[in-house]
Amino acid sequence: MAPQNKRGGKRPIPQGEQFFTPGATGLRAAVERRSAVPMTFLFTQVPRWVAPVLLVVLLLVGFAVANPLGGVAVLPVLAFIGWLAYLSWPSLGVGGKLLRVAMLTFLVLLAATRFGAF
C-alpha cells in the first residue's frame, strides 16, 4: 500500500531543482539515470520513516556487534550514504563535501574494524 498524504492520496514527487546534473556525461549521467527509479520509489512509495529507521538499526548493529556481522550491517549504510553523497556532490559547498568525506571515512573505518583490519 502506497504512503498517503494528509488528503489521502499518494505522496507527490517533491518539487525542486532538476534531478539530473546539467551537462553530465559518462559515469555521472549513467548513475543519475539509473538512480532515478530507486529514488522515485524511495521518496514516493515507501513510508518516510522506513529508510531512516532501517539505516539507524543497521548502524546500531554495526556499533554493537564487534565481529564481521557488524561489518556486514554497516555496508548497506555505507553504500546508501556514498550513493547520496555522489549524487549531491556537484551542488555542495566545501563544508558539505568535507562532511560527506568525513562520514564516509568514519563508516569505512567502522566496517574495517569489524572485519578485523585494525
Query: Does residue 69 register a pLDDT over 60?
Result: yes
CA distance 62 to 76: 11
pLDDT in tens, 5-64: 555 556 565 555 555 666 677 888 788 778 878 878 877 888 989 989 999 999 999 999
pLDDT score at 15: 59
User: If you search the block for the grid coordinates 499518494, which residue do you land on?
Assistant: 10
Residue 98 sits at φ, ψ, to 5 deg, of: -65, -40
Burial class (CB in 10 A: 0-12, 13-18, 19+), 114: buried
Instruction: Please tell me the chain's helix, strand, coil percentages from 3-state DSSP, rounded to the nearest 5.
Output: 65, 0, 30
Identify the pLDDT of residue 43.
Answer: 77
Residue 94 confidence (pLDDT) above 80: yes
Three cell numbers at 112?
A: 574495517
Indicate the pTM of the whole model.
0.74
